[in-house]
Structure 1
Amino acid sequence: MAQAAQQSSPHLFEVDQSASGRFWTLADADEALVRRLAPSVGGSDLLARLLASRDVDPVQAASYLAPTLRDYFPDPSSFADMDKAAGIILDAILAKKRVTVFADYDVDGGTSSAILARYFRAWGQDLGLYVPDRLEEGYGPSPAAFRHLKDTGSDLVITVDCGGAAVDALNEAEAIGLPVVVIDHHLMSAELPPSAALVNPNRLDDTSGCGHLAAAGVVFVFVAALNRLARERGLAPADGLPDIMPFLDLCALGTLCDMAPLHGVNRAFVRQGLTIMARDQNPGLRALADVAGIGKTETVYHATFMLGPRLNAGGRVGDPWIAAKLLATDDRQEAIELAERLHALNEERKEVESAILDLAMAQAEQALARNPDRGIIIASGEGWHPGVIGIVAGRLKERYHLPSIVIGWGEGLGPVAKGSGRSVKGVNIGDAISMAAREGVILSGGGHAMAGGLSLEPDQVQAFDDWMVAHMAQFSAERTAALELAIDAVLAPGAASPALVDQIAQIGPFGIGSPEPVFALKSVHVTGVRQVGVNHLRFIAEDAGGRIECIAWRAADTPMGDVLRNGARVHIAGKLKADEWNGRRRVQLDVADVAAD
């Protein structure tokens, strides 16, 4: 059965360099805290330890395990400009003004715009939509986009998941007399750009304490503010005030796909939003689930890894408007057509991504062979599509456990080269890119600790590489720490059961800030290794007491695959997943790492 492991060595099973170059450590729970937490989880020592290692105290345990909006929902008025924005938008609805939502092209932007579209529809109003083209326009509003919206009759614009830092665009909107309400969540400087209202929990003067929300979460709070204001004024459409609770499926989807940390109200958004998602009330999500082959959409995995990539595909390699339209529509036939287009675009995206990843990995191997201590991976190429370079950067980071930046340029891909970076814990890649921009090494760029973007001329790539390698030399200790794989408990293969998975799910949902438990199998024999899909490996791990089916994603051509195929006994780390197949519920281990015994 699953049990917490007690070791004197900091390295579990003496794994100091696994197949992926990592060292394994064990969760170190406070035994007194474990005992105090046990009653909250029915006396389960395992669940108590998992809660303790996630810094949940007994006072928080009940609301952590059953997060509700009643416990966590913030006062909308605590957000700077929230009441002001609600007044502007409610007045516009009542006056039947022509309002357009300007949405970012990712899932968070699409879900945010769809929440607003559905809210407007409940008042009998249509909400216009504008989504910028990634290649032609880049991220966020531009002066040209606002001029276009003004010229085509928009009386008011609401930006969602963007706009907070769009100084030039908002200055232009003010100059042409186009009111703009900004609803954003990205980091901002102290100087606020002009706007009719600017709602962003990451404004420096905001006191809501909700800077962890995704844009979809901010928008959900905003429609609650609209309802509250309408109620105070004694106003409502013929069928009554809009019921915003069904919008929680969109709020949860945006929160998960934007990797917002799952604490506070975000846990309630996701827990309750997944329940609503399973009811199949949104025709667009149902159609997308159908083309993805999902029977019932009810898990974080479904939302994040099945629906999310397909919704993002339009903004990456196709029409950036499709996802927002799909999520907002109530027309079943339209939903099916849009979902099929997104599914096809996602297949195209995977092909483009795979081709670029192969080239980028070859560059990474060559660079590390020349300088094993370079501390960062930078790969670049002409014709590399800006819509997938962020995904490829993430793949490189996972493979090499180093900050990674991928850069692409070429005809039809925008006027300058675009780069996207992903980082490891402790190395702030956004700050590094911003510094390079300030020093003139690149044209522009920035981001946050774990991700960043940049623009540069192709002939600046080598100088940027040199600058980044020199800059990253100071983070040797942080890069070493990033190689740690923290294990929650040791698991006997025979103890892996659907009941155990259900038990662990009690402390979910899992995501950023609420990590899914990682279990280790000690000295198991691997049998039946076979390749599935393009480069995944499926196999059986067994010992004298039992067996468990395992899958190692994207491992066929890696050192992990070599270790699994050699027939020796191995240690395996991974996450338990339950799946239903032909009416039978089974459990498998999604492999995170392996090490020779």
Structure 2
Amino acid sequence: MFSILKKRWLLKQHKKEIVEDIKLRYKLNDIVAQVISSRIEISDVNFFLFPTLRHQMPNPFVLKDMDCAVECVKKTLLAKERICIFADYDVDGATSCAVLKKFFKALGVECNVYIPDRITEGYGLSESAIKRISQHSTCIISVDCGSVSFEEIMLAKSLGMSMVVLDHHICTSRVADADAVVNPNRLDDTSGLHYMAAVGVTYMFIVALSSCLKDTYLKRLIETFDLLSLLDLVALGTVCDVMPLIKLNRVFVTQGLKILKKRQNVGLRNLSDTAALAEEPTVRHLGFVFGPMINAGGRVGDSMLGAKLLSTDSEAEAVKISTYLHECNVKRRKIQDDVMEEACQLIVEHGLDNVIVVCGDLWHVGVIGIVASRLKEIYDRPVAVISLDENGIGRASWRSIKGFNFGAAILLAKEKNLITEGGGHDMAAGFSVTKDKVEDLRLFLSNEFNKSSIQHHCFFDFELPISAFTSELFEQLSFLEPFGVGNATPVFKMTQISVINAKVVNNKHVSCILVDIFSKKSIPAIAFEAISNGIGKVLLTKNVVLSVIVTLRRSYWKHKETITCEIKDIIY
């Protein structure tokens, strides 16, 4: 049976013998054991439940070119020459920059930072930026960008600068002529760390560099600096760049959340206070509270602010930047809502394709990535949102769904001259396209999508009655955290459910109470973006009996904890 969102929901299959083994060995209940058994191999259960750097951190030199990167930067440090960190303007770039800056500061080394303006300069290294940096620095460390900046890196080298790239974006077979290109997505990299964000690569770089500085005059400073203190930044960048929370990423985020709870980072502490966060931070807060506020500076304000906030040790500066970023975020939401409304209207007029490509004149390029993400969530399709300037040049942001690698598709589109530039990874990318190529690009992406292995069905973990949704179940499920891409929050199906007290929230969401028609047990629920996707219409209809697909949530109100659920779909 299909759902409101046109999905076919199937129950995940579990191997009984593995479930029993997990239950006995780790003293977990049946539900949690079954969820684990459907996600990972039995040999990996211990690492999954107890993720630690001591047991799972690989030798950082397994990454191609790591030795070259370390040698280049070590040489620069010992010569006491000036380093410039060039970073992307998103959260992954800002956290990567902050990790480097805080590490170098602990060594007594001040370095310059260059983050291009999202609006006027766009993504990545540029000729003008290289020339400006050459006036004050002899070494550039490019984080979260640079892997395919062939001409710009050649220019830097011709101006006498050394060049190190720490990146994770999809690469071509050609490798830039830098002193080092450390990128687990290089075609010749065999580390198996392709799932990492740039901030993860950057963290591994400072681990490698610190080990090679212990025979220098920096030995004492290296030994007194706690590299683990930077894991809150690594967790933040990993989550906000939508990297899968598997293997080493799971370790980074699990341990990073522990560091974040200590409130040691001055910038993150003030950001949390500005957002009035009343509970311990989770992955959801990283992605939906901290991330948008940090990104807001680059979207509608100053692209440098996120990295400044995350690397500052000044309480006064952190308060000032956090307050400004909050104001930027409010402004961003208004701009975003306007673009979102126009984009949805275009979809209604054009019809719903298997790949959504929407294009508007002078849409604010600072919000098109968020609009693409929201449209993807609503329609469960790959989405490209394109903003055209006065000259018909479009800047686009792309968000994909599981099974369709847009990072590879964008490289092919570039080879076919359908776009002028672009790059990214399999779930998110950016590119530029001229107005006359938009329709050709739409057809190309549609054809590429049809070749991909997209699954047209979804899985839920259990069918349970409302009476099973207790605090005890939630506590057991917490063993599976952190949840995110690659380790999704467990999904449950409830049948024979009625809806009461349904109401619209903020003109787009629907809150209600779900009631089991037999036991009369109930649970509060929220359906996000329900007005846009058809779920809201059903929830607001009186006297209906439904099957509901949900995930559990823990909500706080006046310091009181309540178990609620988020409605993901309805079978009606």
TM-score (norm 1): 0.91
SS at match of 1:133: coil
Distance in 2, Cα, partners of 1:42 & 1:590? 28
Q: CA deviation at 1:188?
A: 1.7
Cα distance in 1 between the residues matched to 2:18 and 2:254: 25
Letter paired with 2:420: L
Instruction: Report whether the alignment pairs 1:290 with 2:273.
Output: yes
CA distance in 2 between partners of 1:433 and 1:235 (Å) = 44
Query: In structure 2, which of residues 240, 244, 247 is the aligned counterpart of residue 261 of structure 1?
Result: 244
Change in CA separation of 1:115 and 1:470 when aligned onto 2, cut-off 3 Å: closer
Deviations 1:240-281 (A, max 9, x none): 442111101001111111112222211111111100101100
Q: Where does residue 375 of structure 2 map in the other structure?
A: 396
Give the gaps of 5 or more residues in structure 2. Answer: none
* Pair 1:430–1:44, CA change in 2 (3 A): same
Q: Determine the structure 2 residue equivalent to 1:592.
A: 568
> Which residue of structure 1 lines up, in the alignment, with residue 427 of structure 2?
450
Q: Whole-Å Cα distance in 2 between the matches of residues 43 and 289 of structure 1?
A: 33
Partner of 1:530: 503
Task: State the aligned residue count.
Answer: 569
- Could you tell me which residue of structure 2 aligns to residue 11 of structure 1? none
Amino acid at match of 1:64: F
Change (3 A) 1:49 1:87: same
Question: How far apart, CA to CA, are the structure 2 residues paired with 1:552 and 1:573?
Answer: 11
Deviations 1:457-508 (A, max 9, x none): 2233234334444555556xx55x34x2311112222222222212101012
1:444 and 1:288 map into 2 onto residues whose CA distance is 35
CA positional deviation for 1:216: 1.0
What is the match of residue 418 of structure 1? 395
Secondary structure at 1:231's aligned position in 2?
A: coil
2:98 alignment counterpart: 114
Q: Structure 1: where are the runs of 5+ without partners?
A: 1-15
For the pair 1:29 / 2:14, whether they are aligned, the reply is yes
Q: How does 1:320-469 map to 2 (within 5 A)?
A: 320-368=303-351, 374-411=353-390, 416-469=393-446
> Could you tell me which residue of structure 1 aligns to residue 473 of structure 2?
500
CA deviation after TM superposition for structure 1 residue 573, in Å: 1.2
Identity %: 36
Map 1:169-318; keep pairs closer than 5 Å.
169-233=152-216, 235-237=218-220, 240-318=223-301
Given that residues 547 and 571 in structure 2 are in contact (C-alpha distance below 8 angstroms), is that contact kept between their aligned partners in structure 1? yes
Q: Could you tell me whether the CA contact under 8 Å between 2:513 and 2:524 is conserved in 1?
A: yes
Distance (Å, rounded) in 2 between the aligned partners of 1:97 and 1:427: 44
Partner of 2:537: 562
Q: Deviations over 1:527-586 (max 9, x none)?
A: 111222342211111122511111111213441001001121222212111123223211
Answer whether contact 2:376 2:399 (CA < 8 A) is retained.
yes
Tell me: CA distance 1:293–1:224, structure 2 relative to 1, closer, same or farther (3 Å): same
Q: Which residue of 2 aligns with 1:574?
A: 550
* Alpha-carbon separation, structure 2, partners of 1:445 and 1:325: 27
**Runs of at least 4 residues of structure 1 off by over 6 A?**
none
Q: Counterparts of 1:446 and 1:119 in 2: how far apart (Å)? A: 29
- Checking the alignment, whether the CA contact within 8 Å between 2:29 and 2:476 is kept in structure 1 is no
How far apart, in 2, do the equivalents of 1:115 and 1:322 lie? 15
Answer whether contact 1:519 1:574 (CA < 8 A) is retained.
yes
Give the letter for the 2:500 counterpart. Answer: T
Q: Determine which of 542, 545, 553 is the counterpart of 2:528.
A: 553
Aligned partner of 2:69: which letter?
A
TM-score, normalised on structure 2? Answer: 0.95
What CA distance in whole angstroms lies between the structure 1 residues aligned with 2:413 and 2:88? 26
Contact preservation (8 Å) 1:563, 1:595? no
**AA matched with 1:524:** I
Q: C-alpha separation between the residues in 1 aligned to 2:28 and 2:380?
A: 38
| Alignment partners' CA distance in 2, 1:460 and 1:239 | 53
Residue 501 (structure 2) pairs with residue 518 (structure 1): no
Partner secondary structure for residue 531 of structure 2: coil
- Is 17-26 or 304-313 further displaced after alignment? 17-26
Paired with 1:421 and 1:503, the residues of 2 have a C-alpha distance of 36
CA contact (8 A) 1:157 1:178 kept: yes
What's the C-alpha RMSD, in Å, of the aligned pairs? 2.0
1:206-251 per-position Cα deviation (integer Å, ceiling 9, x unaligned):
2322222111111111111122112244742458442111101001
Report the CA distance shift for 1:199/1:591 in structure 2 as closer, same or farther (over 3 A): same
Match status 1:161 vs 2:144? yes
Closer, same or farther in 2 for the Cα pair 1:182/1:429, shift >3 Å? closer
In 1, distance between residues paired with 2:54 and 2:446? Answer: 49
Q: Secondary structure at the match of 1:170?
A: helix
Indicate how the Cα distance of structure 1 residues 236 and 472 shifts in structure 2: closer, same or farther if over 3 A, else same.
closer
Q: In structure 2, what residue type is equivalent to 1:456?
A: V
Change (3 A) 1:268 1:464: closer
Q: How far did 1:73 drift?
A: 0.5
| Whole-Å separation in 1 of the counterparts to 2:35 and 2:301 | 42
Q: 1:43: Cα distance to partner? A: 4.2
Amino acid at match of 2:405: N
Q: Which residue of 2 aligns with 1:48?
A: 33
Q: For the residues of structure 2 that align with 1:469 and 1:64, how far apart are their CA atoms?
A: 37
Report deviation, 1:401. 2.4
Q: Residue 96 of structure 1: CA displacement?
A: 2.8
Q: Which one-letter code corresponds to 2:526 in the other structure?
A: I
- Please give the secondary structure, in 1, of the residue aligned with 2:500: strand
Match among 93, 113, 134 for residue 118 of structure 2: 134
Asked if structure 2 preserves the Cα contact closer than 8 Å seen for 1:117 and 1:328, the reply is yes
**Residue number in structure 2 paired with 1:509:** 482
**Corresponding position of 1:74:** 58
Contact 1:497 1:586 in 2 (8 A): no
1:124 to 2:132 alignment: no
